[in-house]
A and B are shown apart, each in its own frame.
Chain A
C-alpha cells in the first residue's frame, strides 16, 4: 500500500480525537478541514489517509459514526467521540506531551 501521508506517523489519531473533542460532531470533510486549519495549513489530508484512520478509530470504539444531514442539507456521515474515546484522548495526549517534552529537552540540550 502506498502511504502518501503528510501527517507525521502515529499523530493523526490524536489529531482526529482532539478535533472531535473540540468540535463535538463533525463529518470527514470537516475533520480534514479543521485539522488543516489548526495546523495553519501545514498539513494536508487526502482521503487515503483520513478515512482508513477514521474507520480504525471507529473499529476500536473511540469514535462513532452516524448518518445525518450536513449544513447544506446533504447526507453525510458524522463522527463523535465515545466515552472510551475521551479516555483514549486523555491517555494519548499525556503520552504525546511527555514525548514532546522529552524530545524538547534533547533539542534544548543539543542547543546548549
Chain B
C-alpha cells in the first residue's frame, strides 16, 4: 500500500516541480548554514568552516539530482523538459512550424471531410437491426418501349435499363406468396404535403409506406409509436409518423404533438410518433421524408390520382424485404419471378391497347439487390464527383506529406551541428532521438487538432455545395480521420527519424569540423525528388481546376434564351388543399391578376414547370402527315397567359397564344426553333398539326429556343401548350419584378394569403439562384479543385523554397569561395538554382503528361471544352512555372549576395 502511495505521490510530484525544487534548495541551505555554524563553534575560521561543512554535506548537485529522482517519475520529467525544448525549438523557427502544421492539417482535414461525405453517401448502411438481411427488389430489361411509367436508368450493360419501381398490384401479390422473406414492405416518396398545424401552413416532404415498414426494418419510436399493419387498412384512422429532424424543426421537439391532429392535404391526421434521429428512412438522399403516412391514405392524400396508383402499368413503389434466415437473394428473386412475370404481362396488356409501340421488349428480369443502404440512388448520381474529390484529397495529403518530409529533412540537416554538439557533450543517443521525435510528435498533434477543425469546416462547405444533402447529418468520420492522421504522423515521424538516425551515425569529430559540408546524399536528393513529385501533382490539380473553372464559366455564360434577371419563382399545388378543376383555374387567374397589380411587378405568368429548375416533362409528339417513326419524344411545357412576354422569349414566326387559346383545349400549340428545324425540315410549321395524347393540335407559332431543364443540354424539340385547358395540377409562378425580386416577396406572400390563407407556396427562389442550384455539382468540383489546386501550389512552392534555401545555406562556403575567385552574380544564381530548376522541369513535364492522360476521365463533367483544352493546360503549367521560379529565385538570390569574407570565416 505504501508503495502505491509513494507512486501516487511521485506522479503528483510531476506537477508543481518548481516550487518543490525551491523548497528543497531552501532546506539544503538551512542544512549547510547549520553545519557552518557548527564548525565555527568549534573554532574554525569562516572559510575553513565553510569548506569542511561542504565536505561533510556532500555535493549539492548530486543531492538535487537524487532528490529529483525520488520526487517524481524521471522519465516524465525528462519528457517534459524535452517537450519544453521542442516547443522552444518550434518557436524559434515559426515559419517551419506553421508551414508543416498547415500542410498536415489541410491534408488531414481535406481527406477526413471528403471521406466522411463519400462514406455518408455511398457506404453507410441503414441504422436498423441486421441491415445485411435487407433486399431491395429491382428489375433489368431492354431499353426502348414504354411499357411502364416510373423511374428507370441505364443499367451496367449498354442497351439495358434498370429500375426499382413496381406496380402496387405486384406488391399485393408477393405479400401473401412470400415465404422467403420474413417481412416485406413498399414505400414511395410524396413530393409535397401541405401540413397545416394550427394557423401555420407549410410544405413538407412525405412518403407512403405499407404497414410492415417499421416492423420489418426493426425501427423503434423515440416518442409515441410507429405505423403498424393496423394503420394500413382501408378505413383506418389517418395517422402520421414524423422524422426526428422535422419534429425538431417544425414542432421544436414538443412531445405534446403526439396525439395532436394536423391537416395534411386537408385530411385531419393524427401524429402518432417520431422516428429516431439517426434513421432518416429508406429513400434516397435528397428525397427523404419529413412525414410518413400509411399507404392506405394514398387516395385521400392525392385525390384524383387514386385509381392510377393501383393500375398494373403504373410502376411507382419501391419494395424492400428482409430475407428469412438461410435464404439467399437469388432464392428470393427466383421465388418471386413468376409473380413478377404476371405483373409485367398485365402491364403490357394494359399498355398494348393504348400505345402504338410495335416493338415488344423481352420481359425484364427481377433481382433482389442489396438493401442494406435503402433505395439509395446516390452512387449513380454522384459517383464521379465523389471519386474525383477523393482522388484530389488523397493527392493533397500526398503533397502535404512530401512537404512535411522535405521540411523535416531540411531542418534536420540544418541542425546537424546542434545534434553533433549535444552528442559530443554526452547526451545519449536515445535522448537525442527522443527529443527529435518529440518535436515531430508535437508538430503532428497540433496539426491533428487543426486538421480536425478544418475538416469540420470543410464538411459543412461540402454540404452547402451539394444541395439536398443537408439531412445527411454528416459527422466527422473517425476512420477517415484516423487513416489520414496515421499517414501524416507516419510521414512526420519517418521524416523526423531518418535524418536523426543518419546524423547519429556520423562521426562526431569529423562532423564538427566539417559540419556544413558533410551532409551528403540522402536529404538533398530526396528533397529534390519530393519537389518534382509535388510540382507534378500541382500541375495535375491546377489543370483540373482550370478545366472545371472554365466549365463553370462556360455554363454561366450559356445563353438561356430568356431573361433570367429580376424573376421571382414559387410553386403552388392547390390539389393539396382539395381544390378541384374549376377552382384551380379560378385560383390561377386570381393569383395572376392580383400579383400583376403589385407596384413592383412588371408581368406575371405561370407554367407547369419553371425553366431551369430541373423539372421537365417529356412526351411522344407526332407530326400529323408524317410517317410515325420509332420514338419521337419532345419536351412539353404547359404555359399560362403571358408566358412568352414575361420570360422574354421572342416569337420567331406565327404568333403567341391569345385569350381564347387559354380557354379551350386542342386549339393551338407553339413549338421551339429546334422542333421546327428537326421535325418540319424545309417547310413552315405554322398551320401544320401535331398529335399529342390523341389530340391533333395546330401549330400557332415558333418560339426562340430557350433552355428548359438543364444548361448543359443542347436545345431539344419543345412543345408549348396553354396550361389552363390541359392541366389541373400544380403550377410554378414566375414574376418579373422591377427591382430586386426578393424585396417583392413579402407582398407576394400577402397576396397569396389574402386569396387563401391555407395555401402554401414552396420552392421560392429567384430564377438566378434556381439556375445556380442546377450547377451544384459543377460548382462543388470547381470550388474544390481550385482550392485544392491553390493549396497544392502553395505547398509545392514551400517545398521548392525550402530545398533551394537549404542548398544555399549549405554551400555558403563554396559560394563565397567562388565569388572570391571572381564568379559573377548570375553565375552564382545559376549555381544555386540549376539543380532544383531541372527537377521542377521534370515535375512539370510529368504533371502535364499525367493531366493529359487523367483529363480523359473528366470528359463527362466538362462543358464547352475538350479535356485536353490547351488554354487550361497552358495556364496551369504557366502559373506553376512562374510561381516555382519565384520560389527558386528568392532564396537563390541570397547566394548572390553572399559576402566571401563572412562565408569563408563561416567555415
Partners in one complex: yes
Interface residues of A (CB under 8 A from B): 1-2, 4, 27-29, 32-33, 44, 46-49, 51-52, 55-56, 58-62, 70, 72, 74-77, 84, 88
For the complex, is B65 an interface residue (Cβ under 8 Å from A)?
A: yes
Is there an interface contact between B27 and A28, defined as CB atoms closer than 8 Å?
yes
Min Cβ gap B691→A in Å is 100
Contact of B5 among A2, A33, A61 (CB under 8 A): A61
Interface class of chain B by DSSP: helix
Min Cβ gap B623→A in Å is 101
Is there an interface contact between B63 and A51, defined as CB atoms closer than 8 Å?
yes
Is there an interface contact between B30 and A74, defined as CB atoms closer than 8 Å?
yes
A76 to B58, CA, bound (A): 19
A58 to B23, CA, bound (A): 14
Is there an interface contact between A56 and B6, defined as CB atoms closer than 8 Å?
yes
Is there an interface contact between A46 and B63, defined as CB atoms closer than 8 Å?
yes
Task: Tell me whether A32 and B6 are in contact in the complex, defined as CB-CB below 8 angstroms, given that A2-B62, A47-B57 are known contacts.
Answer: no
Is there an interface contact between A51 and B24, defined as CB atoms closer than 8 Å?
yes
Is there an interface contact between B63 and A48, defined as CB atoms closer than 8 Å?
yes
Contact of B58 among A33, A47, A55, A59 (CB under 8 A): A47
For A58, list chain B residues within 8 Å (CB). Answer: 9
Output the residue of A48, A60, A70 with the most chain B CB within 10 A.
Answer: A48
Task: Tell me whether A29 and B34 are in contact in the complex, defined as CB-CB below 8 angstroms, given that A48-B58, A59-B5 are known contacts.
Answer: yes
Is there an interface contact between B31 and A28, defined as CB atoms closer than 8 Å?
yes
For B26, list chain A residues within 8 Å (CB). Answer: 75, 77
Is there an interface contact between A4 and B30, defined as CB atoms closer than 8 Å?
no
A61 to B69, CA, bound (A): 18
Apart from A4-B62, A28-B31, 17 more pairs, CB < 8 Å: A1-B65, A28-B30, A32-B31, A46-B58, A47-B28, A48-B63, A48-B66, A51-B28, A52-B66, A58-B9, A59-B13, A60-B6, A60-B9, A61-B5, A76-B30, A77-B23, A88-B2
For B56, list chain A residues within 8 Å (CB). Answer: 44, 46
Min Cβ gap A17→B in Å is 13
A47 to B70, CA, bound (A): 13
Give B765-805 as 1s and 0s: 1 = Cβ < 8 Å from A's Cβ atoms: 00000000000000000000000000000000000000000
Chain B stretch 167-210: residues in CB contact (< 8 A) with chain A: none
Q: Chain B: interface residue count, which band?
A: 20 to 34
For A44, list chain B residues within 8 Å (CB). Answer: 56
For the complex, is B125 an interface residue (Cβ under 8 Å from A)?
A: no
Is there an interface contact between B30 and A47, defined as CB atoms closer than 8 Å?
no
For B9, list chain A residues within 8 Å (CB). Answer: 58-60
Task: Tell me whether A47 and B6 are in contact in the complex, defined as CB-CB below 8 angstroms, given that A55-B67, A55-B70, A77-B23 are known contacts.
Answer: no
For A28, list chain B residues within 8 Å (CB). Answer: 27, 30-31
For the complex, is B33 an interface residue (Cβ under 8 Å from A)?
A: yes
A2 to B31, CA, bound (A): 21
For A51, list chain B residues within 8 Å (CB). Answer: 24, 27-28, 63, 66-67
For A88, list chain B residues within 8 Å (CB). Answer: 2
Is there an interface contact between A60 and B2, defined as CB atoms closer than 8 Å?
yes
For A1, list chain B residues within 8 Å (CB). Answer: 65-66, 69
Output the residue of A2, A33, A76 with the most chain B CB within 10 A.
Answer: A76
Output the residue of B27, B30, B62 with the most chain A CB within 10 A.
Answer: B27
For the complex, is B236 an interface residue (Cβ under 8 Å from A)?
A: no
Is there an interface contact between B59 and A48, defined as CB atoms closer than 8 Å?
yes
Min Cβ gap B620→A in Å is 92
Interface residues of B (CB under 8 A from A): 2-3, 5-6, 9-10, 13, 23-24, 26-28, 30-31, 33-35, 37-38, 56-60, 62-63, 65-67, 69-71
Q: List 6 A-B contacts (CB under 8 A).
A: A28-B31, A29-B30, A49-B58, A51-B63, A59-B6, A60-B6
A33 to B57, CA, bound (A): 11
Min Cβ gap A13→B in Å is 11
Min Cβ gap A93→B in Å is 16
Is there an interface contact between B66 and A75, defined as CB atoms closer than 8 Å?
no
For B6, list chain A residues within 8 Å (CB). Answer: 56, 59-60
Is there an interface contact between A29 and B31, defined as CB atoms closer than 8 Å?
yes
For B70, list chain A residues within 8 Å (CB). Answer: 52, 55-56, 59
A72 to B38, CA, bound (A): 12
A56 to B6, CA, bound (A): 7
For B69, list chain A residues within 8 Å (CB). Answer: 1, 52
Min Cβ gap A40→B in Å is 17
A75 to B59, CA, bound (A): 22
A60 to B23, CA, bound (A): 19
For A55, list chain B residues within 8 Å (CB). Answer: 67, 70-71
For A77, list chain B residues within 8 Å (CB). Answer: 23, 26-27, 30
Min Cβ gap B422→A in Å is 22
Min Cβ gap A69→B in Å is 11
Task: Tell me whether A47 and B5 are in contact in the complex, defined as CB-CB below 8 angstroms, given that A29-B30, A29-B35, A77-B23 are known contacts.
Answer: no
Min Cβ gap A98→B in Å is 20
Is there an interface contact between A47 and B33, defined as CB atoms closer than 8 Å?
no
A28 to B28, CA, bound (A): 9
A70 to B35, CA, bound (A): 14
A2 to B58, CA, bound (A): 12
Min Cβ gap B611→A in Å is 82
For B31, list chain A residues within 8 Å (CB). Answer: 28-29, 32, 47
For A2, list chain B residues within 8 Å (CB). Answer: 62
Is there an interface contact between B33 and A74, defined as CB atoms closer than 8 Å?
yes
Contact of B30 among A27, A48, A52, A56 (CB under 8 A): A27
A47 to B63, CA, bound (A): 6
Min Cβ gap B274→A in Å is 57
For B5, list chain A residues within 8 Å (CB). Answer: 59-61
Output the residue of A28, A32, A51, A59 with the most chain B CB within 10 A.
Answer: A59
For B27, list chain A residues within 8 Å (CB). Answer: 28, 51, 76-77
Output the residue of A49, A52, A70 with the most chain B CB within 10 A.
Answer: A52
For B37, list chain A residues within 8 Å (CB). Answer: 72
Is there an interface contact between A75 and B30, defined as CB atoms closer than 8 Å?
yes
A74 to B33, CA, bound (A): 10
Min Cβ gap A75→B in Å is 7
Min Cβ gap B640→A in Å is 90
A82 to B400, CA, bound (A): 60
Chain B residue nearest to A62 in the complex (CB): B2
Chain A residue nearest to B13 in the complex (CB): A59
Min Cβ gap A104→B in Å is 28
Min Cβ gap B83→A in Å is 23
Is there an interface contact between B34 and A4, defined as CB atoms closer than 8 Å?
no
List of 7 A-B pairs having minimum Cβ-Cβ separation, nearest first: A46-B58, A59-B9, A47-B63, A52-B70, A48-B63, A29-B34, A60-B2
A58 to B24, CA, bound (A): 13
For B66, list chain A residues within 8 Å (CB). Answer: 1, 48-49, 51-52
For B59, list chain A residues within 8 Å (CB). Answer: 48
A32 to B447, CA, bound (A): 53
A70 to B26, CA, bound (A): 13
Chain A residue nearest to B62 in the complex (CB): A48
Chain B residue nearest to A31 in the complex (CB): B31
For B62, list chain A residues within 8 Å (CB). Answer: 2, 4, 48
Task: Tell me whether A47 and B60 are in contact in the complex, defined as CB-CB below 8 angstroms, given that A1-B66, A60-B6 are known contacts.
Answer: yes
A76 to B26, CA, bound (A): 8
Chain B residue nearest to A46 in the complex (CB): B58
Output the residue of B2, B31, B37 with the most chain A CB within 10 A.
Answer: B31
A44 to B58, CA, bound (A): 10
Chain B residue nearest to A59 in the complex (CB): B9
Min Cβ gap B7→A in Å is 9
Is there an interface contact between A59 and B10, defined as CB atoms closer than 8 Å?
yes
Min Cβ gap A76→B in Å is 5
A90 to B447, CA, bound (A): 57
Is there an interface contact between A70 and B30, defined as CB atoms closer than 8 Å?
yes
Min Cβ gap B72→A in Å is 10
Min Cβ gap B708→A in Å is 83
A27 to B70, CA, bound (A): 19
For A74, list chain B residues within 8 Å (CB). Answer: 30, 33
Chain B residue nearest to A76 in the complex (CB): B30
Min Cβ gap A32→B in Å is 7
Min Cβ gap B492→A in Å is 35
For A49, list chain B residues within 8 Å (CB). Answer: 58, 66
